[in-house]
Amino acid sequence: MWNCSSCGGTGVYTGLCEGPGQGVVCKTCKGSGAIENKPSYKPKEFTGLVRRSDIERVYVGNGTLIFFGAGPKGAGVSYEEFFNGKMPS
Protein backbone atom coordinates (compact mmCIF):
# COMPACT_ATOMS: atom_id res chain seq x y z
CA MET A 1 0.00 0.00 0.00
CA TRP A 2 1.07 3.54 -0.73
CA ASN A 3 0.28 6.94 0.62
CA CYS A 4 -2.61 8.33 -1.39
CA SER A 5 -1.22 10.93 -3.75
CA SER A 6 -4.38 13.04 -3.60
CA CYS A 7 -4.36 13.64 0.13
CA GLY A 8 -0.77 12.75 0.98
CA GLY A 9 -1.86 9.82 3.12
CA THR A 10 -3.98 11.95 5.41
CA GLY A 11 -7.36 10.69 4.15
CA VAL A 12 -8.58 14.27 4.19
CA TYR A 13 -8.79 16.60 1.27
CA THR A 14 -8.99 20.34 1.58
CA GLY A 15 -10.12 22.36 -1.39
CA LEU A 16 -10.95 25.94 -2.07
CA CYS A 17 -14.50 25.72 -0.84
CA GLU A 18 -14.00 24.43 2.67
CA GLY A 19 -13.63 26.89 5.47
CA PRO A 20 -10.65 27.04 7.81
CA GLY A 21 -10.23 23.84 9.80
CA GLN A 22 -12.57 21.93 7.53
CA GLY A 23 -11.74 19.02 5.30
CA VAL A 24 -13.60 16.42 3.32
CA VAL A 25 -13.00 12.71 3.04
CA CYS A 26 -10.59 12.06 0.18
CA LYS A 27 -12.38 10.55 -2.80
CA THR A 28 -9.36 8.68 -4.07
CA CYS A 29 -8.68 6.61 -0.97
CA LYS A 30 -12.09 7.01 0.70
CA GLY A 31 -10.45 8.35 3.82
CA SER A 32 -8.11 5.43 4.34
CA GLY A 33 -5.04 7.41 3.26
CA ALA A 34 -3.79 4.36 1.39
CA ILE A 35 -3.94 3.28 -2.23
CA GLU A 36 -2.90 0.02 -3.81
CA ASN A 37 -1.38 1.35 -7.02
CA LYS A 38 2.01 2.95 -6.69
CA PRO A 39 1.66 6.66 -7.42
CA SER A 40 3.89 8.13 -10.07
CA TYR A 41 4.61 11.23 -8.04
CA LYS A 42 6.73 10.85 -4.89
CA PRO A 43 5.58 7.36 -3.90
CA LYS A 44 5.70 6.80 -0.16
CA GLU A 45 4.92 3.56 1.58
CA PHE A 46 1.79 3.74 3.69
CA THR A 47 2.47 3.23 7.37
CA GLY A 48 -0.74 4.63 8.77
CA LEU A 49 -2.89 7.69 8.42
CA VAL A 50 -0.81 10.86 8.35
CA ARG A 51 -2.02 13.29 10.98
CA ARG A 52 -2.89 16.85 10.03
CA SER A 53 -2.83 19.66 12.53
CA ASP A 54 -4.88 22.12 10.51
CA ILE A 55 -8.14 20.18 10.40
CA GLU A 56 -10.80 20.31 13.09
CA ARG A 57 -13.75 18.74 11.33
CA VAL A 58 -14.15 16.29 8.50
CA TYR A 59 -17.13 16.17 6.15
CA VAL A 60 -18.39 14.11 3.27
CA GLY A 61 -17.51 15.73 -0.01
CA ASN A 62 -20.42 16.80 -2.16
CA GLY A 63 -19.77 14.28 -4.90
CA THR A 64 -17.41 15.17 -7.69
CA LEU A 65 -18.59 18.75 -7.47
CA ILE A 66 -16.27 19.29 -4.57
CA PHE A 67 -13.63 20.36 -7.03
CA PHE A 68 -15.91 23.03 -8.41
CA GLY A 69 -16.87 24.72 -5.19
CA ALA A 70 -19.85 22.75 -3.94
CA GLY A 71 -18.48 22.63 -0.41
CA PRO A 72 -18.94 20.06 2.31
CA LYS A 73 -22.27 18.66 3.41
CA GLY A 74 -23.67 16.91 6.44
CA ALA A 75 -22.68 17.28 10.06
CA GLY A 76 -19.25 15.77 9.75
CA VAL A 77 -17.16 14.28 12.52
CA SER A 78 -14.37 15.76 14.57
CA TYR A 79 -10.88 15.19 13.28
CA GLU A 80 -10.11 13.01 16.28
CA GLU A 81 -13.08 10.79 15.48
CA PHE A 82 -12.02 10.60 11.86
CA PHE A 83 -8.44 9.78 12.80
CA ASN A 84 -9.73 6.96 14.96
CA GLY A 85 -11.60 5.45 12.03
CA LYS A 86 -15.01 7.10 12.15
CA MET A 87 -16.33 8.31 8.81
CA PRO A 88 -18.77 11.18 8.43
CA SER A 89 -22.11 10.30 6.88
- Binding positions for Zn ion, rule: CB under 5 A: 4, 6-7, 26, 28-29
- In whole angstroms, how close is the CB of 69 to Zn ion at the nearest point? 20
- In whole angstroms, how close is the CB of 76 to Zn ion at the nearest point? 17
Q: 77: how many CB neighbours lie within 10 A of its CB?
A: 19
Of 59, 86, 88, 79, the residue nearest 71 (C-alpha): 59
Question: What is the three-class DSSP state of 81?
Answer: helix
Backbone angles phi, psi at 29, to 5 degrees: -110, 0
Question: Please, how many CA atoms are within 13 Å of residue 38, restricted to the half-sphere of its CB?
Answer: 5
- In whole angstroms, how close is the CB of 11 to Zn ion at the nearest point? 6
Closer Cβ to Zn ion, 3 or 57, answer by number: 3
